[in-house]
Every structure is written in structure tokens, then in C-alpha cells.
Chains A and B, each alone.
Chain A
Amino acid sequence: MSIKVSDLRYVYNPGMPGETVALDDVSFEICDGQICGIIGHTGSGKSTLLQHLNGLLKPVSGDVYVDGQCITDGSTKLVEVRRKVGLVFQYPEYQLFEETVAKDVAFGPKNLGLKDEELDATVREAIELVGLDYEQVKDASPFELSGGMKRRAAIAGVIAMKPSVLILDEPTAGLDPKAHREILAMIRRIHEEMGCIIIFVSHNMGDIASMCDKVLVINKGKIELEGTPQEVYSEKAKLEEIGLDVPPIREIINKINAATELNSDALTAEEAAEDIKNYIQCRK
């Protein structure tokens, strides 16, 4: 399982006064089981890129391959593409619409032709995977749930399609710290149990650093940087120039590095604490 994008180009309003190149020769590959983070300031082209990955937008030129199969040459049925690549939009809870949580989650798989026990089992599995209590929520109206629970119910609706690639566009925006932690734990659990590729778009640099194997930095429709979180967050000057940042812990560590001999390249509080402990012990 892999997803590959080659020389993707997309233009909004071609030939019109407002012509904008939204994606400019974007190429990358995400391998089996990876969690890939995408960062970029608002308007950098992130969402345009995501919409190409499940065929919501058609590129001007270039191709997208899911599992070796080209989804942009017109040979693949879009229904099939959208089942394989699940896209969870920003604030997905605004898309809940059914009377009960179970019906809402069942909407996708039902359209795929699942029936009776198979449908029920799929729905139960998806609801449990996002960390909700099936018995407790199945007959509840999705609108009675708390903000964090609503969002998880909406994500369950996408997971129920059993996608091979799950794309989450800012899944933690607007959540309180506890709900935020729960969503991150949920993403890890989905990744472990379903073994799918996860593409994770976020403005939270700390989340990207702690969750991802690989990070793509998008700026003005191009890939500006690509690499492991360690590699990407070493480019502080470049990130700031394009409106981004390093994780808050790295910010603290950078300042301390400049004033002491710590020389840490930690991205998370756990790594930083370990480095500080070693530094103090060495000094003694």
C-alpha cells in the first residue's frame, strides 16, 4: 500500500483574471503504514492537495497513484477511489446529519451495499475504534454529544468505509486539551488496528512532531521541505519565513541551547527532559 503523487499541477480560474496556481509540480510518495504530516500556512495549497488525493479535484497535469493504480487517468471509478481514500474535513462534526449516531455512521457502508449483520458489525467496529461506547451512543442523536465526541462520531463515519488511506484535515482544531489528547490517541489506535496510511494536516507543530514519521511542508503550492520531523524542524529560519514554527518545546530548547552547552535536538517534552537530565549529570 502506498500513495504516490507525481508532478501534480492545479490552477484555479484558468484563463480568468483571478488565475492562481494552487499546486505547482508537487511530487512525493508515502509508503505503507506511515503517518505523514502536512504543514503550511493558510492558503499554501494544503487543502487543494488533499482534494486531489481522493479525486474531488482533477489536476491540470500530473498523476496520483493509490496502491499503484492511477486515479487521475479516468480509468478508475471515483466511487472506488473514495472508498480507498477516506477524507475527514475540518470540523467534520458539522456534517453529521442523521437521527442517531449509528445511522450516521452506517450511511457510507450502506451506500456501498452492506446490509443487516455485516452493516451492524461494521458500524459497531467503527464506533468502538474512535473510542465511543457503542451501546451508549448508538441510539443517541449526534447533536446531543459533546464537541469532542461529535467529532469522533463523524470520523467513525469515514472509518466505517475501511479506507486504506485516511486523511484528517486539522482533526484537533478548536478542541479543549483533554479532547485534543483523546483525538491524538484515537488516531494512533486507528493507525495500529487498521494499518492504514494516515495523512495528518495540522497547525499544531507539537502534534506533528510527536505523531508523524514524515513531514511535508507546503508553501505557495510547492513542496518546500520534506523529511522526518527532526530534519524539517531543524530548518527554523525557513519555517518562520513561510509563516510556520517549530514545536513549542523545540522553541524552548533552542533558546537554552544558545545560552548553555545543552545541544539538544528534542522535539517533545519527553526527549527534552531526557537531554536535560543527561546534561546535568555530565556536568556534575
Chain B
Amino acid sequence: MRQRSTLVRCTEINSFIEVRNLIIDYTRIDEEGHSVLVKRAVNDVSFTIEKGSFVSVVGMNGSGKSTMAKALNGLLLPSEGEVLVDGMSTRNEDDLWNIRSRVGMVFQNPDNQIVSSIVEDDVAFGPENIGVPPEEIRRRVDDALRRVDMYDCKDKGAHMLSGGQKQRIAIAGTVAMRPECIVFDEPTAMLDPSGRRQVMDIIRELNNDGITCILITHFMEEAAQADRVIVMKDGKIYSDSTPDELFADRALIEGAGLEMPPIIDLREKVAALGVDIPESIVTTEQLEAFLRG
């Protein structure tokens, strides 16, 4: 990833998050009180995230995706290297609150993220904690609930909601903090098909409204919706490109333990049967046009 460092300097003006030579070690303390390295989860990773972009991060379980994501708003601190959010280092304790209100996180399990029994109380929890005035809280909560299409459920008990609805409430709780960036750590992994669709629609809408979105996922069709895909393997960045470039490279996909999105998988299987089919086909519409011929 050496070449990227020159790129970093050129794009610094637009960059919102800058990760510089980040290393995160998981350690444990042995019987004698010495700290022992258990695993280097993130190993010398550098990249920048531009303001307003939609970046997905993929890779096998244990590749360091989630650890890296938790470092982006200082939930985990660097063992070495630095994470800068709008120029502020997560190592600087005085900036941490500011960083966390600007970079929000949504996690995998909706049940672990709901803190209040009533939907609107839950969404208000974050803004309340940072001392937002009551009228402003009301406005933010209503706005956030409308954005995730859950305004009609605002008086409901959180336990009455489906998994997909709970996840939308968790997103609303983050949106109510008015962050500039949201990191989604496998937000659809536990949802049914309609819940998954709704959450992906919301992520795209938030990104269209200018919020920088970072999506960690195992679903290639979700990763393909981003502007850029970062592939992680063994704690390092294995590839960093547009979805089209990534999914054109089967060796790279297999090397990272991933898979092709369904449409590309289908095209390759058709080609394997001896049919002359152009490799440029990456969408259903293109396949349709090809078959209409």
C-alpha cells in the first residue's frame, strides 16, 4: 500500500478520517503481570475516508474489519499509529467526546443497542447525554425517526418491534446525534430479507444526504452498492478499489475468502458452459440487453 501514501497527501483537503500506520494489538496479562501479545488484529494499516463517501469494508471473520471500525471513533485506541477524525487524534482524550459525536456507530445485534423501553426515549438517549436542549432534542428525535420511517412507532415499546425495526431505531439513535459519519458494523447480519432491504435503503439515503457511510458487511451485493470497497485480510488492507474493479478480479476475491455477487457468479457459470459472454456484464440490465441481443 506504499503508493497510496502519495495519494493521501493529494486528497488531504477532502479527507474526513485519516488512518496512519494503525496497529491494534489484543494483549492479556500473564501470571507475572507482564503484558503478552495475543493477536495483532490490525497490522500497519493506512487509508483515508473522504467526506460524503460510501465505503464498504469486507473480509473474512477475524480479518480485523470490526477492530479497525471500532478504532475509527476511539472505541478502541491505537497500539501504534494514529486515527485522525477531521484532524483530531483519537489518542487525545479531550477530543474523544467530540470525535464520538461526529462519528457514530451501529452494530450487528439490534437487541444489544436498545437502552430504553420506549422508542422515542431510546432515540433521545444520545442527544440527552451530550446536553442538547429539550426543544432541540424533540426536533432531532422526530427528524431521526422520520428518516428511518419509524415515526409512527415513536410511542411503542421497543420490545414489541421486529429485528429490522429495532435496527432502524438504533440507526435513528445515531442519526439524532447529527454525526457527519456513521460506521455500520454488519447491520444486516441478523435481519430477515425485508429488514435487510430497509436498512440498506436507509444507508443509501443517509449517504445521499451527505453523511459519510462506512459499511462492514459479509454480503457482496451490499458491498457492491458502495463507491469504494476495502478488502481486509490478516489485519492488513488486501485491496482498495471500486466495486467494479474488485469484482472483475476473481483471484483477488478468492484470495480474500470472499465470493462474487450473484450476477457475476451467474455470468461466470454461463461462460464456463462454453457460451461466449462479455466480461463487461456486471448488472442484470446488461445481461438482459445481452440476451435480447
Binding site for B on A (CB under 8 A): 40-43, 146-148, 173-181, 203, 205-206, 240, 243-245, 248-249, 252, 255-256, 259-260, 262, 269-270, 272-274, 276-277, 279-280, 283
Question: Is there contact, CB below 8 Å, between A273 and B272?
Answer: yes
Mask: chain B, 23-67; 1 = CB below 8 Å from A; 0 = not: 000000000000000000000000000000000000111110000
B172 within 8 Å of A by Cβ? Answer: no
Residues of B within 8 A of A205 (CB): 193
Question: Is there contact, CB below 8 Å, between A273 and B269?
Answer: yes
Mask: chain B, 149-172; 1 = CB below 8 Å from A; 0 = not: 000000000000011100000000
Question: Is there contact, CB below 8 Å, between B59 and A277?
Answer: no
Residue in contact with A243 in the complex, picked from B108, B192, B266, B273, CB distance below 8 Å: B192
Question: Is there contact, CB below 8 Å, between B61 and A148?
Answer: yes
CA distance A78 to B220 in the complex (A): 43
Residues of B within 8 A of A269 (CB): 262, 265-266, 269
CA distance A24 to B221 in the complex (A): 36
* The 9 A-B residue pairs with the shortest CB-CB distance in the complex, in nearest-first order: A273-B269, A243-B194, A245-B193, A147-B61, A177-B259, A178-B257, A248-B262, A42-B163, A176-B60
Given contacts A41-B162, A42-B162, A177-B220, contact A272 B189 (CB under 8 A): no
Question: Is there contact, CB below 8 Å, between A174 and B60?
Answer: no
Interface size class of B (residues with CB under 8 A): 35 or more
Mask: chain B, 240-277; 1 = CB below 8 Å from A; 0 = not: 00000000000000000111001101100110111100
Residues of A within 8 A of B292 (CB): 259-260
User: Which of B94-102, B123-131, B283-291 forms contacts with chain A?
Assistant: B283-291
Residues of B within 8 A of A240 (CB): 194
- Jot down 19 A-B pairs with beta carbons below 8 A, ordered by A: A41-B194, A43-B163, A174-B108, A174-B190, A175-B218, A176-B218, A177-B258, A180-B218, A203-B191, A243-B194, A245-B197, A249-B262, A256-B287, A259-B291, A272-B266, A272-B269, A273-B273, A276-B266, A276-B275
Residues of B within 8 A of A259 (CB): 288, 291-292
Residues of A within 8 A of B218 (CB): 174-177, 180
B186 within 8 Å of A by Cβ? Answer: yes
Binding site for A on B (CB under 8 A): 59-63, 108, 162-164, 186, 189-197, 218, 220-221, 257-259, 262-263, 265-266, 269-270, 272-275, 284, 287-288, 291-293
Residues of A within 8 A of B270 (CB): 273, 276-277
Q: Which of the listed residues A249, A276, A283 has the most CB atoms from chain B within 10 Å of its own CB?
A: A276
CA distance A177 to B221 in the complex (A): 12
Given contacts A269-B265, A283-B293, contact A175 B61 (CB under 8 A): yes
Residue of A nearest to B163 (CB): A42
Given contacts A252-B263, A273-B266, A280-B291, contact A245 B257 (CB under 8 A): no
Residues of A within 8 A of B274 (CB): 277
Tell me, rounded to whole Å, the shortest Cβ–Cβ distance linking A238 to chain B.
13
Tell me, rounded to whole Å, the shortest Cβ–Cβ distance linking A194 to chain B.
27
CA distance A277 to B196 in the complex (A): 32
CA distance A147 to B186 in the complex (A): 15
Residue of B nearest to A244 (CB): B193
